[in-house]
Structure 1
Amino acid sequence: MREGSAPLIRREDYTAPAYTIRQAELTFDLDAAKTIVASKLSVQRDTAQDKQPLRLHGEDLNLLRVLVDGQSVAFRHEDGLLVLEAPEADSFTLEIRNTIAPEKNTQLSGLYASGSGLFTQCEAEGFRRITYFLDRPDVMATFTVTLRADKAKYPVLLSNGNLVGQGELDGGRHFAVWNDPFPKPSYLFALVAADLVRREQRVTSRSGQEHLLQIYVKRGDLEKTEHAMNSLIASIIWDEHRFGLPLDLERFMIVAVDDFNMGAMENKGLNIFNTKFVLASPATATDDDFDGIESVVGHEYFHNWTGNRITCRDWFQLSLKEGLTVFRDQEFSMDMSGSASARAVRRIADVSSLRERQFTEDAGAMAHPVRPDAYQAIDNFYTPTIYEKGAEVVRMMHTLVGRAGFAAGMKLYFQRHDGQAVTCDDFAQAIADANPDSTLAQQLPLFKRWYSQAGTPRLQARGQWDADNATYTLTLSQHTPATPGQSAKQPQLLPVRMGLVGRDGQPVALQLQGEAGAAGTERVLVLTEAEQRFVFTGVTQDVVPSLLRGFSAPVLLDDGLGDAELLVLLAHDADAFNRWEASQRLAVHRLRAAVQGSGAVQLDEAYLGALRALLLDPVLDPSFKARALQLPVETYLAELITPVDPQRIHAACESWLDQVAACLQADWAATFDAMQVREGYRPDATQSGQRALANLALAMLVRHAVATGDAVWPGRAFQRVKDATNMTDRLGALEALVNAHAPLAQPALERFLALAGTEALVVDKWFQVQARAAEKDGRVFARVRQLLQHPQFTLSNPNRARSVLSSLVMFNPAAFHRSDAAGYVLWADMVIALDAANPQLASRIARALDRWTALAEPYRSAAREAIARVAASTRLSGDVREIVTRALDAA
């Protein structure tokens, strides 16, 4: 384990490698207790640099032999590196032999055991835990891999690329030889040795080439892979159609593993997935699970080009592949949704996630730019900023150059850089060069501040209608608050998609001062300065500005609109995203007043009437209604209401829910009955929307019934837990009972667990629903303590650990932030315990207190004490030490 304070690595210190590896021949004699790794590397020195020692990365390896061109050589160990004095030849063959112990690898990084199989995870720096290598993304080699193992234990032997040989060996052993013809960095290496079964499908690309698709899972799980296979096929078709990017290998494989720190990994041709994002059946997976599988399968497949064929020069450029590929998987998911309304709901979901996770990060101790300037542990920078905010940066490029212009830019990017390790600047330059007349090309240095500045910009908008001159003047201004290490911020380029809506609900034609005529009812204004004015002419009535349509820039908007204006947008805006946004802001207005005032939420008749009209609107899609009629999550509300008092925020939200449940009770009942799906289960947008709205209605009905002592709706929910024909309805009913603390919640939990049987992902849901339940009188926190002692709970499986710990500390602020500090004590205990085995998982749990300085007292002081206790631990990994040190430095 890497302990202590790791050295700070700076982007400005990047230097090209003095040596590179052109070819890597690896041989594995696989065994869980002791695996022997033999490597034969074709090494080339960069003759443009001075001769210097060859420094190879290695961690937790038992070195047996080192040969250069067949001869033993002197070497030394130095700061986690294997150092060889500079060989005389500029090109030479390096042979290394070492052993590793996969069954002892609790970090799940490198080669590790899961169940009875062996699996790898090499991103970002896991390959150095397999053998000594130049483990950096700008060293790209072709790999030929020979795997040897006991055939009874490990009948399936997989690695990257194409299978070029296999056969039997003495003693019940067998072998397989894999060759990947495409140069790749070591972080994309993968191998699997396990007893697995597979689903296969052959597809033919537009060029006529046939490809074999395979999904490998444990025995008993094969019937739950159909959706993943369909998602993979859809991804292949979409990428070739949308961007002209075909599958480039004879086969493409996905392997599902129970123990995995992340969601999935895009290893070239051999994607390794967390089972959560592969296995699904109506009985075990919710609509959201099916949706997540499609998205993640798409994401990892799209990496084949944006991440694998072109990779990042160094880890500071991580968003080059991740931000771009998130944008691509978001576009894929929207295209798969079908209708315009379903596309809008997808966008709403993506923005909600951005606000809940990335905006919180921007406001905390770990705030960093999309392209960081420095890090200690790169694992800590697989963050919402790199992924989701990085995707928004790409989306702004797409907005500025248009769909066709972006496609042209992507084409140029691949023409220039296929097979290379490059930078974020290279990508931005390609998009700009393909669109020389665009605002992006003309303002590229200004636009690239999105890569270098941390924090969420604040966009202020104020409008003034001049009735006499029939003009409407819109003044836009921006500023970005200081973040750790960045106090002075410069203006950024903000594309603001907008329209004007008359008080009568009609869209207004847009004509800027100086233009010859009106051009449509929507356009993109580009803010490039701290403040700019835009004057619209021919505006003959008072209007309401509809700004940031589709969330055209990742900012916090203050447009000064009151309830009357927001009600107009809620009822009439042509942009579905902004209709949803209006519903959220109307709720926030009332919640903020309650939190900062008396604590009681006041819901007036006009507002309740608007909610009722939304619920009963015969035109709106159910999926949109379900989104628009839910409150923003409490973690996002904490970004808007400071200082943060989690208990007051939670009380205000509970009060809002109680009133909306009571006042619309008859409407909720009618909605629940109307939204029942009568036909067979399909996880498509139409059925998913109906189930989402039905489950929201049921939650409201059970809440009101528990408050009034009515047993009917809790009884119906309990019956649904027992009899539901799909997991979405079963889990929705269970959540309704648990969140309302209904008397039937406990028997429902018992029935749900009994029905789950040995389905690990369903058992995870059982844990999660309890740890995320609405807190009441400390009951949820007490329940979490019991869950940690449950026979089926374990810290060693990341999914199970997250189902309880992440659910509490990341997603249940009222249960976590307690006035007696018990939540912080538990957090510190768990971070220290997890760090001893799995630093990556521990560091993610540690992030729960990034924003401790924004807390009100007594939470603030108690949180600092807990962070200091973790920091005082003498055996922390570098991953966790960086998190807690930066948190303390933020004070």
Structure 2
Amino acid sequence: MTYAKHSTIYLKDYTAPAYLIDKVALDISIHAGFAQVTARLEVRRNPAAGSSAAAPLVLNGEELTLERIAIDGAVLASDAYTYADERLTIAAVPQSFVLETCVHIEPDKNTQLSGLYRSADGYFTQCEAEGFRRITFYPDRPDVMAKFVCTVRADKTQFPVLLANGNPIAQGEEEGGRHWATWEDPFAKPAYLFACVAAKLDMLEDHYITRSGRRVRCAVYVEPGKLDQCAHAMAAIKKSMKWDEDVFGLEMDLDHYMIVAVGDFNMGAMENKGLNIFNTKYVLARPDTATDTDYQNIDRVVAHEYFHNWTGNRVTCRDWFQLSLKEGLTVFRDQQFGMDVHSAGVTRIQEVRGLRAAQFPEDAGPMAHPIRPASYAEINNFYTATVYEKGAEIIRMIHTLIGAQAFRRGMDLYFQRHDGQAVTCEDFVAAMQDASGMDLTQFKRWYNQAGTPKLVVSSRYDSASKRYTLGVEQVFPATAYEDRMANDGLPQARGPYHLPLVVSLLNEQGQELPLRLVGESAAQGTQRTLQLREARQEFVFEDIASQPVPSLLRGFSAPVVLDYPYSEQELTHLMAFDADAVNRWEAGQRLACSILLRGVEIIQKASNDEWIPAGYVEAIRHLLASAFVPGGDPALVAEALQLPSETYLGEQMEVIDPDAIHAARLALRQHLARALRQPLEEAYHNLACAEAYSPEGEQAGKRALRNACLGYLAELDAKDAEEMVSSHFEQAGNMTDTMAALSAIANLDVPARHVILDSFYAKWKHEALVVDKWLQVQATSRLPHTTADVSALMGHEAFDIRNPNKVYSLVRAFCGANPKHFHAADGSGYRLAANVMLQLDPLNPQVASRIARCFDRWKKFDATRQAHAREQLERVYHQAGLSSDLSEVLGKALGY
């Protein structure tokens, strides 16, 4: 299969659609090997477009065979239209009319999993961003919103479940053992939110009573035999519905809300109006098949897609440049939900860790872009950490700046103004500004400027005047985005951001001091939100009795790099006393990072100098003990015991040395294990839980810390580690504990490794999601033969290159989460990834391009690794017929 290279699309070139669609009637008839789709569109010229009466009607269409086309019932002659370059163009059309088309499609051959496609249990759809054009001819853009009625037809025995958006209005049977069902969505929506399903599925049903007293049917559809793994997803639906009512006053607006789980899916889930299609990994859970993290992810993803019902569906994007309008806002909403229903501190720490691991490197790499990019070649490549996670941080900053009450007023105003519309990021910011009275003009730079700003903070204390001064400078590292925009004739100005810097000052006893800025008559609490607007600013606090330790950027109040010269003593003080969970964790991360980078230098020099300070070991001992005092939080301690990742450490270096980083990090883990063996063993045994399994609350926190202790103890003598991990595996009563053992044994070159891996697979080989975990622990192993193991596993019966979950679990896990082996000095990791990309691109370009993103930072490595990486990138880039998805990512990586 070959692909048309897409030209670059620019935000500045946006024009309103020449034609609007008021109503759509679809008839999708599924047969063996093909489907016939009849579409009836009520079309009218858009009075707001300013187009002439002679403007042609242009519809998108991809891999469609046109069988019939008519306007107002009259079949068009072949010379009345053209179908070329994935566009159907009709030169002369009336002011308003009904367009009817009938097309033939082949969903069984649709390996891209975009549009209508076949999976094991039936037929499913994925239309975001531009999949609807693979179903029928349509102006496939988000600012064309129509009301849909859809009839689905299929064999009744093979596909007894027929679903589409909205509410069911009719059903029946027809000849040949077939049946049909018609669904109507009462709300206008863009085509990317269309969905339908024809499949053999089991269904779990429940109901939710809204705050206004409406009864909403909730249904979860899964592959046959999986009903016992649906209860948590159903509970998450109802929990999300109540939370959105309580916090934002938003109520479910349909009579039916459905989730359908499918094993073949490119994304995590999709918010189609009333009919969400989910990857099975975010629906199915049972204590023996899913970990605590899986359960929490299900909570969050179910919430995210449900929250889209308003922030994405009822109010949607005008164009794809505005993608963060719905995604950043909805991620923020699901983050707030997560903080409310789980540990707020742990949830926020996990978000910050994820942002630094994925989004900060993206800002510094070849794909750098603001949350609203000025151009793209392939929109599928912009479902990024920047659009989602950084987009959420920008919404969070508005929330911090204007306060929770004003933010809620802003949300109410946003829906009041724009319900049923396709709008822009400016529309959202305007609602927040008008509701709060705060001028957010400068704040909008966050939408247009790329890169992670650095806050360089200095301090000075004057004991005579008892004044403490914080100086803050905003620094803007150059990014690849500015170069691309300059080449396109769109130079990007860089100016200071408007951002919140949340601070507190701690005295020698760890107490927070009252904060009074110069000019204020009285202190206004012990925590302050300082508003930065200038390139350089100073903030002077009065009545500070002694030199304090500053707690800066509390709660990670802005997505920036904080540069402050903390001493090791100050960081230890913050680890012990800071009341802000994020900053207490951050102090430990900063301390560990400085120690590890010092260790990297020593290892590079082949020196035997000591580099692990005794004070750090004692700080970790104190941290571990804090989990057992009254009010202690084992989940928070478990997070704090995680050392900075190898990828994060690499980002702190001018030239990344993956071998030295891995050696330093392993050496520190082993040193801590030896030095703290007794308290680690005591904690491990004291945290054992005999209660019936629950994935939430205190029990999950204890499990997290116990398994963190196991991970450290597994770094001890190989024989002792083998015995302990084997025992843990045998006694595990849930998948969380089982996976802790499996992850540990995968890194040990001991006889039990093969026994445990083999027994695990034998037991779970019929559970696809559990097999994915088995693939992932092997892909991320530190053992020297891992690259060869990954290559061999690609030929294993458990692996299917057409299934995105398998590719992500094995190949992307290897490329993205195993830097030691992916960045091997001999180039073997790069060759493996390139070979997979070449295999994948003709099958599923979206998945292939996600593998390619693992090369984003290849230029930060030494010359030998760069040469190997360039060789493989060039090899793939110059492959004939490369997709636009993959060519855009590789072209930017190579600097073309």
TM-score, length-normalised on structure 1? 0.97
Q: 1:718-729 counterparts in 2 under 5 A?
A: 718-729=726-737
Out of 532, 538, 544, the residue aligned to residue 543 of structure 2 is: 538
Q: Which residue of structure 2 aligns with residue 452 of structure 1?
A: 448
Q: 2: distance between equivalents of 1:145 and 1:183?
A: 13
Q: Which residue of structure 1 aligns with residue 399 of structure 2?
A: 398
Q: 2: distance between equivalents of 1:632 and 1:741?
A: 24
Q: Which amino acid aligns with 1:267?
A: N
- 8 Å CA contact 2:2–2:842 kept in 1: the answer is no
Out of 442, 464, 471, the residue aligned to residue 467 of structure 2 is: 471
- 8 Å CA contact 1:455–1:482 kept in 2: the answer is yes
Report SS of the residue matched to 2:481. Answer: coil
Per mean C-alpha deviation after superposition, the further-off stretch among 102-111 and 744-753 is 744-753
Shift of residue 517, structure 1, vs aligned partner: 1.3
- 8 Å CA contact 1:263–1:273 kept in 2: the answer is yes
- 8 Å CA contact 1:312–1:320 kept in 2: the answer is yes
Q: Which residue of structure 1 aligns with residue 619 of structure 2?
A: 610
Q: Which residue of structure 2 aligns with residue 316 of structure 1?
A: 321
Q: Indicate yes or no: 2:238 matched with 1:238.
A: no
Q: Which residue of structure 2 aligns with residue 122 of structure 1?
A: 127
Report SS of the residue matched to 2:501. Answer: strand
Shift of residue 489, structure 1, vs aligned partner: 2.2
Out of 567, 578, 587, the residue aligned to residue 583 of structure 2 is: 578
**Cα offsets for 1:401-457 (capped at 9, x unmatched):** 111110000000000000000001100110110011xxxx22x22100100011101
Shift of residue 475, structure 1, vs aligned partner: 0.2
Report SS of the residue matched to 1:520. Answer: coil
Shift of residue 793, structure 1, vs aligned partner: 1.0
**Cα offsets for 1:246-300 (capped at 9, x unmatched):** 0000110000001000000000000000000000000000000000000000000
Q: Which residue of structure 1 aligns with residue 489 of structure 2?
A: none
Q: Which residue of structure 1 aligns with residue 722 of structure 2?
A: 714
- 8 Å CA contact 1:102–1:113 kept in 2: the answer is yes
Report SS of the residue matched to 1:509. Answer: coil
- 8 Å CA contact 1:457–1:479 kept in 2: the answer is yes
Q: 2: distance between equivalents of 1:572 and 1:769?
A: 36
Identity of aligned residues (%): 49
Q: 2: distance between equivalents of 1:141 and 1:422?
A: 15
Q: Which residue of structure 1 aligns with residue 7 of structure 2?
A: 7
- 8 Å CA contact 2:2–2:881 kept in 1: the answer is no
Q: Which residue of structure 1 aligns with residue 66 of structure 2?
A: 63
Q: For the structure 1 residues 31 and 635, does the alpha-carbon distance in structure 2 shift closer, same or farther, using more than 3 Å as the test?
A: farther
Q: Which residue of structure 1 aligns with residue 690 of structure 2?
A: 678
Q: 1: distance between equivalents of 2:479 and 2:371?
A: 13
Q: Which amino acid aligns with 2:619?
A: A
- 8 Å CA contact 2:603–2:664 kept in 1: the answer is no
- 8 Å CA contact 1:197–1:222 kept in 2: the answer is yes
Q: Which residue of structure 2 aligns with residue 629 of structure 1?
A: 641
Shift of residue 719, structure 1, vs aligned partner: 2.8
Q: Indicate yes or no: 2:796 matched with 1:794.
A: no
Q: 1: distance between equivalents of 2:778 and 2:318?
A: 43
Aligned-pair Cα RMSD in Å: 1.2
Q: 2: distance between equivalents of 1:2 and 1:568?
A: 60
- 8 Å CA contact 2:554–2:582 kept in 1: the answer is yes
Shift of residue 77, structure 1, vs aligned partner: 1.9
Q: 1:100-499 counterparts in 2 under 5 A?
A: 100-337=105-342, 342-436=343-437, 441-442=438-439, 444-486=440-482, 489-499=494-504
Q: 2: distance between equivalents of 1:790 and 1:202?
A: 43
Report SS of the residue matched to 2:716. Answer: helix
Q: Which residue of structure 1 aligns with residue 33 of structure 2?
A: 33
Shift of residue 4, structure 1, vs aligned partner: 5.1
Q: Which residue of structure 2 aligns with residue 662 of structure 1?
A: 674
Out of 759, 762, 767, the residue aligned to residue 754 of structure 1 is: 762
Q: Indicate yes or no: 2:87 matched with 1:81.
A: yes
Q: Which amino acid aligns with 1:17?
A: P
Shift of residue 809, structure 1, vs aligned partner: 0.4
Shift of residue 871, structure 1, vs aligned partner: 0.8
Q: Indicate yes or no: 2:103 matched with 1:98.
A: yes
Shift of residue 598, structure 1, vs aligned partner: 3.8
Q: Which residue of structure 1 aligns with residue 748 of structure 2?
A: 740
Q: Which amino acid aligns with 1:781?
A: T
Q: Which residue of structure 2 aligns with residue 853 of structure 1?
A: 859
Q: 1: distance between equivalents of 2:305 and 2:357?
A: 23
Q: 2: distance between equivalents of 1:61 and 1:475?
A: 61
Report SS of the residue matched to 2:751. Answer: coil
Report SS of the residue matched to 2:441. Answer: helix
- 8 Å CA contact 2:603–2:660 kept in 1: the answer is no
**Cα offsets for 1:313-344 (capped at 9, x unmatched):** 0000000000000000000111111xxxx210
Shift of residue 547, structure 1, vs aligned partner: 0.3
Q: 2: distance between equivalents of 1:828 and 1:716?
A: 39
Q: Which residue of structure 2 aligns with residue 808 of structure 1?
A: 814
Per mean C-alpha deviation after superposition, the further-off stretch among 310-319 and 30-39 is 30-39
- 8 Å CA contact 1:4–1:881 kept in 2: the answer is no
Q: Which residue of structure 2 aligns with residue 590 of structure 1?
A: 595
- 8 Å CA contact 1:32–1:118 kept in 2: the answer is no
Q: Which residue of structure 2 aligns with residue 72 of structure 1?
A: 75
Report SS of the residue matched to 1:306. Answer: coil
Shift of residue 738, structure 1, vs aligned partner: 1.5
Q: Which residue of structure 2 aligns with residue 43 of structure 1?
A: 43
- 8 Å CA contact 1:5–1:882 kept in 2: the answer is no
Q: Which amino acid aligns with 1:604?
A: P
Moved over 4 A (4+): none
Per mean C-alpha deviation after superposition, the further-off stretch among 715-724 and 68-77 is 715-724
- 8 Å CA contact 1:735–1:769 kept in 2: the answer is yes
Shift of residue 367, structure 1, vs aligned partner: 0.5
Q: For the structure 1 residues 379 and 2, does the alpha-carbon distance in structure 2 shift closer, same or farther, using more than 3 Å as the test?
A: farther
Report SS of the residue matched to 2:31. Answer: coil
Out of 641, 655, 659, the residue aligned to residue 647 of structure 1 is: 659
Shift of residue 769, structure 1, vs aligned partner: 0.6
**Cα offsets for 1:160-206 (capped at 9, x unmatched):** 00000011112111110000000000000000000111000011111
Unpaired stretches in structure 1, ≥5 consecutive residues: none
Shift of residue 76, structure 1, vs aligned partner: 0.4
- 8 Å CA contact 2:765–2:798 kept in 1: the answer is no
**Cα offsets for 1:728-776 (capped at 9, x unmatched):** 0011011112223333111111111122130000011000011012x24
Shift of residue 639, structure 1, vs aligned partner: 1.4
Q: 2: distance between equivalents of 1:801 and 1:629?
A: 30
Q: For the structure 1 residues 188 and 2, does the alpha-carbon distance in structure 2 shift closer, same or farther, using more than 3 Å as the test?
A: farther
Q: 2: distance between equivalents of 1:287 and 1:192?
A: 30
- 8 Å CA contact 1:699–1:737 kept in 2: the answer is no
- 8 Å CA contact 1:144–1:177 kept in 2: the answer is yes
Q: Which amino acid aligns with 1:764?
A: D
Report SS of the residue matched to 1:119. Answer: strand
Q: Indicate yes or no: 2:771 matched with 1:766.
A: no
Report SS of the residue matched to 2:26. Answer: strand
Q: 2: distance between equivalents of 1:497 and 1:806?
A: 36
Q: 2: distance between equivalents of 1:741 and 1:90?
A: 74
- 8 Å CA contact 1:11–1:316 kept in 2: the answer is yes
Per mean C-alpha deviation after superposition, the further-off stretch among 345-354 and 778-787 is 778-787
- 8 Å CA contact 1:482–1:489 kept in 2: the answer is no
Report SS of the residue matched to 1:703. Answer: coil
